[in-house]
Structure 1
Amino acid sequence: MLDLAPYACHPAATRGRRYPETPAPTRTEYQRDRDRIVHSTAFRRLVYKTQVFLNHEGDLFRTRLTHSLEVAQLGRSIARSLRVNEDLVEAISLAHDLGHTPFGHAGQDALHGCMAEHGGFEHNLQSLRVVDKLEERYPQYDGLNLTFESREGVLKHCSRQHAQQLEREEPGGVGARFLRREQPSLEAQLCNLADEIAYNAHDIDDGVRSGLITLAQLQDVPLFDQYRAAAQAEYPDLVQPLLQRRLLFEAIRRMLSAQVYDVIDATQAALARHAPTDVQAVRQSPSLVMFGDAMRARSLELKQFLFKNLYRHPRVMETTGRAQEVVRDLFAAYTASPQEMKAAFAEQASVDCGPLRARAVADFIAGMTDRFAAREHERLTGRRLFD
């Protein structure tokens, strides 16, 4: 028996699926969503899609798959304390990056530029396209036929133009909240914040592992350094060079725990202030899942540090440039010669030479792993941009 708060998403009260299905005898609707996501092709591809460091740069750096698992773990931990639906949080967490391009944000930015005349490219909207249309697993319909609540959580951000398009296709559906200026469920809000907590922490780890940032530099980041100092005071031997990795891990562990507890405390306080009685009241309230003011300020300082010292590091920027070149070259090649794509995408691209072809090309590229995109680029251009 689920011990859920009144403001949580109760699976028996789901707004349902686009194509009605008989309930499963042993699983709730959100458990079914999670299972469909885990078994999807797009989910498996995440293991070879990059976070900050490209897939060929090392075996131990985070990928979209490991990131999604970390978001799910953090999300479930917080969800249990708030008595919201853990299964829905897990489903959204595992699906939230399914629409990401190869080569991380570099690939996304390049593909958005290629699609500028055809509505652009938004990875959140692409994640929805994956679960609604692009997965091909069932004889009755395209996509995974997830519940409304999981689909709503996947669509974290959406431009007004795209929300209006979604509303025309599905009146009162997942695009409506952006037009009504409503919030998503608490479970979706929680996944958004767990995403931020996860990538800040693992980007510190990967940044130090890569040698692009150092523990000495991180002493200028209060959110991290207070836990580094506390760990070092408790375990003085960690100052030894061979134990520096343990010091890093312990500091990150403490930082993560502090952020989780802060979110729980701040969110419980917000719930007490606004007292939502059900999911609809949550939607009409301000965002309720949050950091406290002090933690939010320290988290912002950490993000600014990572942006300056890691994401804009010359080595990262150099690979970013090559990654964007790959995506732009692939887009141009497939647009000119759609037959070079896999058959299903080539068939869609043959409908016209305008927006439908461009969207089919974008769908094909967005679904690629880093290494497949690099191989395709070499095949089509004769140039190898990555060793």
Structure 2
Amino acid sequence: MEWKKLLSKKRERESSGRQKPADLRSEFEKDYHRIIGSASFRRLQDKTQVFPLDKSDFIRTRLTHSLEVSSLGKSLGQNIGENILKYRRNSGFTPQMKEDISHILECAGLIHDIGNPPFGHFGEVAIREWFTANLPKLTFRGGKVEDMLNEQMKQDFYHFEGNAQALRLVTKLHYLVDEHGMNLTYALLNTIIKYPVPSVGIREESGNIREKKMGYYLADEEIFRKVTEETGAGNCRHPLSFILEAADDLAYKTADIEDAFVKGYISYYTLEKELAPLEREQSTQSASAFLPLTKLHRLYERGMQKNVSDPASYAVKNWIVSAQGFLINCATFGFTSNYDSIMAGTWEKDLFYGTFGEKLMDLLGDMAYRYVFSSMDIYRMEVAESTILNYLMDRLVHAVLYYDTGEKQGTIDRRVVSFISDNYKNAYRICAEGRSEAEKLYLRLLLVTDYICGMTDSYAKRLYQEMNGII
């Protein structure tokens, strides 16, 4: 892969070519302003990161998480770009490319979760499980829906994925000027495709990170092919996707610990206990390694010296900042030390693999699972969220089955379909033109997931209550 192609400025709809004299922005800076000004981006302020519908203004939402990923991605891009220049890893790499990489990653961080449904990653699980349980039961004109759909269509629903939905939203559903969505640059679009395989190409057991999940729906295969052919990435991961993923993992794994501390799920002493075995292991490997427990103790002592009211809180929150700095360096090393494999498309792991940060990242993720995601509070919320999403899926799928077929719909089904955004219905009509009956049915089922993924947590809850007469 070559940076000149990887950083493609091409868009689906090209401009007239006449640059306004006063507009000195690069194409990637224009992407940034398109994203910031979009309704889809604003909706992230009312979507769950970990704690749904939380009243605290400290706890992160999808919006604040995306801003953090954007910031970390930009920092990683600057570090890695500077390393490529300094050590002349690529003779064709220029300072402008370093700047472009930083802007692309800044934008990618903002939209990497823009396709996620309400209620966080549990929302994705609930939608997948709904299709697994209900798609085999659906009938259309006397036949089984499952028999009408081809294998990839079915697997798209059984492996429903927010990453694939993000590509769909920014290229089709954000209907502002025309059917090309936000009309973002190909370099940016390729960066957010973390898994360049279809639903029938998922191979979780392979150990290759690119095959862990699907990156695009069958309905969006054409734009996937256009983008990856233009950038030269093909079916390989775009190099910037590794950096975006590292920024995402770094952001949520450290933030989950901080949010869990603020919510009372873990304490200073919990973190102290969890870090002790890792410190013993790290200290035997290298004298220069980041010693997480020692750092936590020093920050607590500093808090005591400063006479802060809560030295434990001071220590934990500042430890998070120190850990992020350490992990940024680890991800930078992970990319630059495996540079040739990444550029050849043969690197199969994440950027923390084999670095001193790998076990710390694993520990943080494991702590979040044990202390937060497996707690009774979260389980209760997820049961309620499942009830909401299952009901909405039931009613919406039933309503769209005969939408746009010429057959008469029931009164309630017509009203339910009217709830769906005109943007999504416009996208459906454009994609459905000239398609077979089975393809149109597939697109109508996608219309349901499009609508649900566009919902905020509050809207999903409110719509459920209204449809059930709960005033």
Match of 1:304 in 2: 366
Match of 2:332 in 1: 264
Per-residue CA distance 1:335-356 (angstroms, 9 max, x = gap) = 2325322352568889889433
Displacement of 1:59 after TM fit? 2.5
Unaligned runs of 5+ in 2: 82-97, 136-153, 201-213, 279-291, 399-412
1-structure distance, mates of 2:242, 2:45: 25
Per-residue CA distance 1:87-145 (angstroms, 9 max, x = gap) = 0011111110100111101111111223444421210010011101110221x433011
Q: SS state of the match for residue 113, structure 2?
A: coil
- 236-245 vs 366-375, which moves further: 236-245
1:55 to 1:22, Cα distance in 2 relative to 1, 3 A? farther
1:339 pairs with 2:407: no
1:170 to 1:191, Cα distance in 2 relative to 1, 3 A? closer
2-structure distance, mates of 1:207, 1:252: 12
1:105 pairs with 2:121: yes
1:171 to 1:188, Cα distance in 2 relative to 1, 3 A? closer
Q: SS state of the match for residue 173, structure 1?
A: helix
Query: Is the 2:303–2:311 contact (alpha carbons within 8 Å) kept by the matching residues of 1?
Result: no
Q: Which residue of 64, 69, 77 maps to 1:79?
A: 77
Query: Is the 1:71–1:195 contact (alpha carbons within 8 Å) kept by the matching residues of 2?
Result: yes
1-structure distance, mates of 2:45, 2:220: 33
Displacement of 1:189 after TM fit? 1.5
Q: SS state of the match for residue 151, structure 1?
A: helix
Query: Is the 2:303–2:314 contact (alpha carbons within 8 Å) kept by the matching residues of 1?
Result: no
State the TM-score, normalized to the length of structure 2. Answer: 0.71
Match of 2:15 in 1: 21
Query: Is the 1:349–1:361 contact (alpha carbons within 8 Å) kept by the matching residues of 2?
Result: no
Displacement of 1:358 after TM fit? 2.0
Query: How many pairs align?
Result: 369
- 195-204 vs 343-352, which moves further: 343-352
1:143 pairs with 2:184: no
2-structure distance, mates of 1:115, 1:175: 29
1:220 to 1:309, Cα distance in 2 relative to 1, 3 A? same
Query: Is the 1:34–1:91 contact (alpha carbons within 8 Å) kept by the matching residues of 2?
Result: yes
Match of 1:355 in 2: 442
Unaligned runs of 5+ in 1: 1-5
1-structure distance, mates of 2:115, 2:217: 20
Flag the structure with larger Rg: 2
Matches within 5 A, 1:26-45: 26-45=24-43
Displacement of 1:229 after TM fit? 1.9
Match of 1:3 in 2: none
1:98 to 1:171, Cα distance in 2 relative to 1, 3 A? closer
Query: Is the 2:164–2:217 contact (alpha carbons within 8 Å) kept by the matching residues of 1?
Result: no
1:243 to 1:338, Cα distance in 2 relative to 1, 3 A? farther
2-structure distance, mates of 1:130, 1:374: 22
Query: Is the 1:37–1:95 contact (alpha carbons within 8 Å) kept by the matching residues of 2?
Result: yes
1:191 pairs with 2:278: no
Query: Is the 1:151–1:174 contact (alpha carbons within 8 Å) kept by the matching residues of 2?
Result: yes
1:367 pairs with 2:454: yes
1:175 to 1:335, Cα distance in 2 relative to 1, 3 A? farther
Identity of aligned residues (%): 23
Q: Which residue of 376, 381, 387 maps to 2:463?
A: 376
1-structure distance, mates of 2:428, 2:131: 14
Q: SS state of the match for residue 78, structure 1?
A: helix
Displacement of 1:285 after TM fit? 4.2
Q: Quick one: which amino acid aligns to residue 382 of structure 2?
A: T
Per-residue CA distance 1:52-76 (angstroms, 9 max, x = gap) = 0012443321000000110111111
1:348 to 1:357, Cα distance in 2 relative to 1, 3 A? farther
Q: Quick one: which amino acid aligns to residue 236 of structure 2?
A: E
1:182 to 1:356, Cα distance in 2 relative to 1, 3 A? closer
1:283 to 1:329, Cα distance in 2 relative to 1, 3 A? farther
Matches within 5 A, 1:1-387: 8=3, 14=8, 16-22=10-16, 24=19, 25-83=23-81, 84=98, 85-116=101-132, 117=135, 118=154, 119-120=156-157, 121-138=160-177, 140-157=178-195, 158-161=197-200, 165=218, 169-170=222-223, 172-174=225-227, 181-185=235-239, 187-222=240-275, 225-237=293-305, 242-271=310-339, 274=340, 282-286=343-347, 290-291=351-352, 292-336=354-398, 337=413, 339-340=415-416, 341-342=419-420, 344=422, 345=424, 354-383=441-470
Q: SS state of the match for residue 55, structure 1?
A: coil
Displacement of 1:174 after TM fit? 4.5
State the TM-score, normalized to the length of structure 1. Answer: 0.85
1:38 to 1:77, Cα distance in 2 relative to 1, 3 A? same
RMSD across aligned positions (CA): 3.1
1:379 to 1:262, Cα distance in 2 relative to 1, 3 A? same
Q: Quick one: which amino acid aligns to residue 248 of structure 1?
A: V
Q: Quick one: which amino acid aligns to residue 313 of structure 2?
A: R
1:347 to 1:129, Cα distance in 2 relative to 1, 3 A? closer
Per-residue CA distance 1:319-345 (angstroms, 9 max, x = gap) = 011111111111112223253223525
Per-residue CA distance 1:143-199 (angstroms, 9 max, x = gap) = 01111111112222354436583685247335779x9652212x2211110000000
Q: Quick one: which amino acid aligns to residue 356 of structure 1?
A: L
Q: Quick one: which amino acid aligns to residue 8 of structure 2?
A: T
1-structure distance, mates of 2:74, 2:427: 39
Q: Quick one: which amino acid aligns to residue 154 of structure 1?
A: I
Q: SS state of the match for residue 293, structure 1?
A: coil
- 240-249 vs 73-82, which moves further: 240-249
2-structure distance, mates of 1:181, 1:112: 25
